[in-house]
Structure 1
Amino acid sequence: MRVIVDERERDSGIPSILKSKGVRVVYELLEVGDYVLSSKVAFERKTLPDFIASIFDGRLFKQIKSLKEHYEKPVLLLEGDITRIGEFTTKTKAVLGAMSAVSLGFEVPILYSCDKEQSAEHIYIIALRLHRRGESKQPITVPKVGKKIDERIKVLTSLPGMGPTLAERTLEMFGSLRRVFNASITELMKVKGLNQSRAEAIYWLINSNYTQSVKEEKQTKLDSS
């Protein structure tokens, strides 16, 4: 039983739970959806804060539209306590309206979960059902919509401890590579997921003198020989 998972979901905890249930997880940088269970079924997963943010920055309906266009049976997986909407925005009616638009306008069903464990269970149950019907054994075709991975993301993922999700989060905070490269350790640590050791490693790599580093490395090799 196989599930294709977007690389940016790696740190969500859900892929690890799926693996513990015997699911073979395959990571890819997906352009549409977050979890692809078959050529017909795909999940877009959103935590409640991300769902709310995506309404107001215009991402939500573009993502749902693309999901609907590329998969016969798309699903929106909404993770979080919806009674807490008011903690993230004063525009509760707009959020509820967006939920209605997804389920009634786009005709994309919404599955609700309270945490990552329940989200993983939702995915597992449907993946298991598809497997028993033989659908998961068929080749899964992942749609390509012509969108290239941002070159700036590629640059940042070459830094120590920087995966695609963290790279995207860093760019969203700083706005440009120049600002990232000019940032102090303290500023880098403001990015969620960038702890002190990672921030220090990145800062050292960006700001260390190449010639001096090479000399020190050669001297170390001579001293140890």
Structure 2
Amino acid sequence: MDNIHIIADDRERRSNTLSILKQRTDILFTVERLPIGDYFINGWLLIERKQLCDLVESLISGRLFNQASRLANSGFKTAILIEGNARDIANYKVHRHSILGALVTLTIVFGISILRAADSRESVALMVFAAQQQIKQLKTDLPRFGRRPKTVKARQLYILQGLPSVGPVLAKRLLAHFGSVKGVLSADIDALRNIEGVGKEIATKIVAVIS
């Protein structure tokens, strides 16, 4: 089974979404302090989770686009996951066109994907589905069998993406930091944890494979 690693920001501890994630036995799940976003999937997808009422409140206060700017500049694939339905904002004095305009700005201007979920359980299902699709795409884009990359750098990245929970973005970070595949394979857990996107669990899994 392909590994799915989801890191939840520790400020999400009280959310039902985090509680549901803890119950999944098919996910490598850790809780850490994330500098941006609420959930980080496979070192690739950064998700900001918002209840629909939170989205409206952040729009009214002006915080929404500041958050969007930070997400867009994170260097990762990004999404805002909105939980709830229209009944949750029935008492808010905000025009529907304002919300639609905000969603257009988030997607078209900032390039952030919008995901919708009815509840926390559906949010978790979306996260897992996103991870599965990424894994499937990586197998298509960079197969472990058949034709191999031709340039030295492409071969190096190809090798590093064979490590646990290492996708294209994380492979580039590892190579840039350590300078070579040998450097990555010689690194210990503490050295690996200095790389953005590598938590204790991923570092431990990498060292376990190469030891």
- Structure-1-length-normalised TM-score: 0.57
Mapped to 2, the partners of 1:5 and 1:107 lie a distance apart of 22
1:124 aligns with 2:128: yes
Counterpart of 2:189? none
Structure 2 residues not aligned, in runs of 5+: 140-160, 171-194, 199-211
Structure 1 residues not aligned, in runs of 5+: 144-225
1:39 aligns with 2:67: no
Q: 1:114 aligns with which of 102, 115, 118?
A: 118
Mapped to 1, the partners of 2:114 and 2:132 lie a distance apart of 19
Q: Specify the SS of the correspondent of 1:107.
A: coil
Note the C-alpha offset of 1:39.
3.0
Counterpart of 2:62? 58
Q: Specify the SS of the correspondent of 1:36.
A: strand
Q: 1:15 aligns with which of 9, 13, 18?
A: 18
Please tell me the residue identity of whatever aligns with 1:41: L
* Residues 1:129 and 1:20: Cα distance change in structure 2 (over 3 Å): farther
Counterpart of 2:103? 99
Please tell me the residue identity of whatever aligns with 2:96: T
Mapped to 2, the partners of 1:123 and 1:75 lie a distance apart of 10
2:9·2:37 contact (CA, 8 Å) conserved in 1? yes
Mapped to 1, the partners of 2:62 and 2:116 lie a distance apart of 22
1:141 aligns with 2:196: yes
Deviations 1:93-128 (A, max 9, x none): 222211111111212110111111111110111123
1:41·1:71 contact (CA, 8 Å) conserved in 2? no
* Residues 1:142 and 1:66: Cα distance change in structure 2 (over 3 Å): farther
Note the C-alpha offset of 1:9.
1.2
Mapped to 2, the partners of 1:31 and 1:17 lie a distance apart of 23
Deviations 1:114-149 (A, max 9, x none): 111111110111123334547761167249xxxxxx
Mapped to 2, the partners of 1:13 and 1:90 lie a distance apart of 27
Note the C-alpha offset of 1:21.
2.4
1:7·1:27 contact (CA, 8 Å) conserved in 2? yes
Aligned residues, how many?
143
Mapped to 2, the partners of 1:122 and 1:88 lie a distance apart of 27
1:67 aligns with 2:71: yes
Note the C-alpha offset of 1:31.
1.7
Counterpart of 1:6? 9
2:53·2:88 contact (CA, 8 Å) conserved in 1? no
Identity between Structure 1 and Structure 2 (%): 29
Which one has the largest radius of gyration?
1
Mapped to 1, the partners of 2:102 and 2:14 lie a distance apart of 27
Mapped to 2, the partners of 1:3 and 1:68 lie a distance apart of 20
The two structures, once aligned, show a CA RMSD in angstroms of 2.3
Q: 2:91 aligns with which of 82, 87, 92?
A: 87
Q: Specify the SS of the correspondent of 1:130.
A: helix
Mapped to 2, the partners of 1:131 and 1:14 lie a distance apart of 22
Please tell me the residue identity of whatever aligns with 1:105: V
Mapped to 1, the partners of 2:110 and 2:86 lie a distance apart of 20
